[in-house]
Structure 1
Amino acid sequence: MSDPSTIQESTRRTGNGPHSREEPLPEAGDGSMLERWARITARALESPLVLVSLINDQELTLKAAVERADAWTAEAESGPAIDVKAIKADPLGHLILRASRTLAIADVQAPGPDFDAEIIDTRGGWSAYLGVPLGSPEGEPLGVLSVLEPRPRDWSPHDIELLRDLGEALVVEWLAREGAEPDEEFRPTLPPPLESRWLDLIDTLPDPAWICDAGGRPEAFNRSWLEYTGLGRARSLELGWAQAIEAEDRPRVSDAWDQALASGRKFEFPCRLLNCDGSTRWFLLRNTPRHGSDGRIEAWLGTATDIQAHKETEQALRHQRELLDTISRTATEGLCLLDLKGRVSFTNPAFEQIFGWTGAELENRRLEDLVAPGLDRNPPQGPPEIWAPQSVLESAVIIRQREANWRRKDGQSVMVSFSCSPLLREGELVGAVLSVDDITERKQSSQALVINRERLDLVIRSTELGLWYGDLPLNRLRWNPKCKEHFGLPQDSQVSFDLFYELLHPEDRERTREAVSRAIETRETFDIEYRTLGPDGKVRWIRAIGKATHDPSGRPARFDGITVDMTERKQAEDALRAAKETAESASRAKDQFIAALSHELRTPLTPVLVNVTAMLEDSETPDMIRPTLEIARRNIALEARLIDDLLDVTRISQGKLRIRRESVDAHELVGRALEICRDEIGTAGLNLELRLEAIENRVEADPARLQQMIWNLIKNAVKFTPKRGLIQIKTRNEPPARREATRPDWVIEVSDTGIGIDVEVLPKIFNAFEQGDPAVTKQFGGLGLGLAISRSLAEAHGGSLAASSSGRNQGATFTLRLPTISPPVRALEPPRPSEDDSSAPLPKLRVLLVEDNPDTLRVMTRLLRSRGYEVAPADCMAAAIEAERTVGPFDLVVSDIGLPDGSGLDVIRHIRSARPVPGIALSGFGTEDDLRKSGEAGFVAHLIKPVDFPTLDAAIRQIAQLARGQQLAGPGPSA
């Protein structure tokens, strides 16, 4: 082994000046083992100078010093350099041996609290130092391996671990040369081009390692690699080191490795490696090029350093930093970190705001000199007062919630409440944490607070608020006078929680007890209404609002709150509820009255209509009176229509308007409605213009209701248009009014040249019973319900109805708009019966007719028999049941609902209890509830009086045909 002094003297300097670069030291004659390991270390850590010192005669002696010329870059040539000649021994080796641990100094100018920079030998111009002890397996100290840098360097955990591993490898080889044989079992076999020193290196490394040739082809893997991956030596050589990388990371690593091969520069990349058990861990992969004597790359040394813990720690620290940063930025209290000398190392925004200093102005300055200049250093009596944070730095004792007057940057005094805690790192005191709260305003307002409390007490005494204060551990309850008044107690009475529950109304006692327990347990606000029943016997409604508080251990401590007398409000609510019930009762009575009125109005019309129908069908009726009979029948139908309008208004107001939607041809319904009004148009001498131009005319609607709307509009135009006037009916398609619709709207306009509508009346014409001008009502009559019902029906169908007019005698236009639907796919229908078939009698159809009006019963019996039916008349419920028993059975029951000794519902129920007989109900009542009751009793059709005989005859035929399995078109089971 070469003598260190010889090595140092053999160095030669190039250039001039203190920053000249050292050329590499010449190797000893046989390339000694220590110098080889020094060179390996210099290359592995990319450091300019490596020292190997061993203990000789109880003294630490420098045995090898190697400087790397290639560690100097062009930029470094003008920077600092180490003077190797000035370094006669390892400057800190004795400290490493004494402490038996690694020593890392990032900057000798600030070595940390463990060292005094003045006693460290810095000759040679070094700034950063990293050294590890060398020891035998038995723990005997052997020497020191150290690295020196000309500039400050933050030594990473990887640097420290790598230097330790290299030191252990050096010791293994040194001991082997001294006589111990190394373990040959896992020594890799390399092809001849690779030097044996690389085999020794990777075989002694504790981390997974490998050797690649200059082109990146794997040549050897060490034992740690084989144990971690479980691939085996042959498989590893076949697949290469990249195959152990987790698939998601592999492309990025591969790209970086390709760039390293192309550039010849060191490769370093963090990624996850697959373990033999299927798990993954984070490693830092390094591939370092090794150059031959000719300067070319002869091999790549690869290592994988486990950084899983570092990654986890890094993530935890990142989260912790983010949390601390958020806390410090959002904290309302000022926070400050002090080092051991009382200097500021950190402040948050709240601290800076309290004292008016910026963080840069406070950093590295003694806080005591800035904010506490008035501290009494030499009081006349007693020991000097100590700056409170300084006592924490000296004794590590926590100071909690002290108050003091400190100074702001502008010189003004600020009253603060502060706490100070020692800051420990690995059990050693390294500083203090100071939290400060500005209480200046709080102190200045303390007197105002006292005044405000007195005012609050005055307000509470003069208001209706009752206060209670509850001490839960002691079961004590304290009430103010108003609260005692709420419970009917004398002012001098004593209260407790038990008495509180006794003063509650018995019906509210348990409910209140549960609410109190729940509020204490969940810490939620207690808010409940209950009744009190005190000694004065008066019942009061009280609202109580309170909140439970708990001590630091979580046990319930207090339960405080207020009470408000709600008795008058409750009485007002009861009165309002009673008024509402009265109003609802009146509304129901109104509806019942309208229903009864419609029944009473309809019932007398039935015998008149039936007799008129009979006279018209009688061939012996003189022709001269037939027009009069037709007039009578039309007026009866008009009267029935007015009654129906009244019922429709009632249904609309109750939300019970029934709509049976189906796909209908709107133009067909226009034709039907127009056919009804055609005679009136001709009689009134009006001109009609019809233009059905809408291409899309299929809508989803109730056919009867849609025809009713169109009929109302035409009827309205006929009614208010003078003779020789013009009525125009037009249809068209327009873009949909609804934004979400995709199909066009079907629009019908009914225009006339009649009396028009005044501008001020126009907004009211769709109101029920509204015709705008009393003179109009007097001249034209009517109830003013048709337009109101039509608009409600239009809206129920998803459409709209609007009116426009230029004014009096300018005519009017009504526009109905409905959304269209796609035409349905038409199914084949069975052939309809001919007109002759529909009018032909159905043989052997036996009908039980029940009607309490003798005239109606007589005429309807005659008319039904004229159709070929066998009819058994009955004028009451008893007669109907007797007829069923003696004359029956019947094929059909036609019965009035209202009978003198019962109901038609009872008749059909009694007869159907024996066998299923269809029935048709006749009634002056036509509400939704009436229809429902008829259906539940067993009637399949419900005809509302006055009953037109052709309608009854059609319903009988339809029911008979359905019973025989035929699909006849006609009115449904209810009409």
Structure 2
Amino acid sequence: MLALIEALPSAAVVTDEQGRARHVNARWLSLSGLSRAESAEQNWLGVQAPEDPTAAAQTWTQARRDGHPFDATYAMHTTSGRMDVQWHHAPIREGGAPLGAVTGWLCTGKPLLETAPDVASQEETLEHLALEVNWLSDVLTSLPLGMLIVDARTRRLKLINPQAQRLLGVPLAPGMTLLSLEEHQTGGSGASLCGENSPLRLALGGLRKGGEELEVQRPDGSRVLLRVNAAPIIRLSGEVTAGVMMLEDVSAGRETRAQERLETELQRAQEAVLLHGGDPVTPERFLTLMGELHEQLGFPSLEGRLIALLLLRAEPVTLGEVAEALEVSKVAVSKVSAVMQRRGDLQVIKSFSSREHLLALTDHNYIRDLSVRRVGSWAISILCESLLSTNNLDPAITQQIRTHLETHTRVAVALERVLSPIEKRQALVLAEHLRENWDAVPAPHEKLDSGSPDSVPDTGKGAQ
């Protein structure tokens, strides 16, 4: 577009919507005798109409208000002396649309004593200019990255493409203020996407910020990992006129890295399991090892074995079948299952045909051990923070405790992100189960097999 303006046979000045010069062509420089830097610094309207700047300013004000093109002739002090110059001022509209918002002005002038340029050639150049503007708009619209341009003076959006709206999850339009982005928060700090030290704010202050990855929380609560680049747009005088922010969704890359880490951890876990004798993990061995691993986590071994058994069954299992498979008494199973039921981890269903109690996990994503770890990590973090806030410790000790605090905070946050959607789903499943099987839920501390014909004393031996 700038190349086309340079090619105009007339002196040309491109301004912003307020009439401030953003670009001048070589013909203007030769006519005014000013350099490009001087043209940007000068009140160009005063150079255009030095003998009657007040009237020229009034005409400009009216034109900017109406958005209509206008012609004016002013006596201008050129390099060839005083000369009458006829000016044509045409609005530049957003996207090249006839009714689009005025984003600037193209002002072309020709001395009246000079031979008039070829009108057809000038119209052809202007037509090419309009096509160039439309092409640029199409490019920005189809750009695979999200892009926002914000005016440095008004702090309002000048341009936003569809990809940016999709990534941010909110409808945005030119003219909106940065307040429309205030609800977007980054990372665990809760800082706003357009806060004081955000890439966009830094760009509006004249600084470039590139390659920063921010996890952004949208207003609907969903999260997306964005790579953010921001840079200022600076005019010839050095004034920052706008800030540009580019957004790239890199969530898929993070998921790929997370999957790779998961596969690595699973490989390590598999190697660790094989160390338990080095034998293949059969269903029977799965029961045994799950009991041992849960015992290491601080849970009863029987609970781990019960979880393993229910994971290996597609349908709910009777209390008697569980006791027989695990080679323990029904009372022992009842004690463990009652605790699990009170926590909401276990469903108890009463069979209408046999009147037996059937056991099933609330969700096969059994997360009790992870939930306990999450609570423990939060508790450790809070404990460390309290210690640091109420004691003036040695700097080296402070650093040790802070490192411990940060590690457990990261663990808790990571577990929160994984567990939260599972817990919400489990709560819905459990509520539905309780509505449908209310008569199968015993009173507090009531044994599951109380009054059941298959109830037997806790002999400590396997059910026969």
TM-score, normalised to structure 1's length? Answer: 0.18
Q: Which has the larger radius of gyration?
A: 1
Higher RCO by CA contacts (8 Å cutoff, separation 6 or greater): 2
- Structure richer in helix, relative to its length: 2
Task: Give the structure-2-normalised TM-score.
Answer: 0.34
